[in-house]
Structure 1
């Protein structure tokens, strides 16, 4: 196996893993309703309809990543979603540690940085439309 194939496999693994893990959050929001997200957005003084943007970052973007269909755009959707999640939900935990000693925002940071990496790297050869 040559280095290019290994790089493409690594991009596929990263893309599908990030897509599946974030998609689970989106599916939970679809099943549980959007009222909590809409209320949180309205509490910050923004129109509640903006809360539905979470579906772009947690359903549409992840599906794009999994398929490798305009995966850079999908990664940007996930990245922007994570920025808003950190700003709207997790700012109080920014300097905190979790129960096991790790940073309280390690999951959010991993999603954020993985999405940024995929936006920069592209989807690789094993995608619907390689770029």
Structure 2
């Protein structure tokens, strides 16, 4: 009798502490660029572009401060970064690595299908006011 009472007590203890009786906890969120109707939010910063081989290039729309997919639907990673920066920011004189960014606005050729990936952004350095004056 003593053994069965001990077994019953153990079973009750296990039932009370099982994970099924604990409240479910949501895992912490993964931080990414925030999707907007036009693209993913780009924090304040310099003009930038991003490439992902096999996908349409991204650039920052400086008025909306969002990452945008190139509307031509074909510009890809095979393009020279300086020339691609100059397409969006004509005063670009140099390109350098900036920072990795996770975007959900990547599209395939023809601007179809959505993909999310973290890629290195490239900063499009602009001609300074002093350079323009000379």
| TM-score in same-fold range (> 0.5) | no
- Which one has the bigger helix percentage? 1
- Which one has the bigger strand percentage? 2
Higher-Rg member (1/2): 2
Q: Normalising to structure 2: TM-score of the pair?
A: 0.23
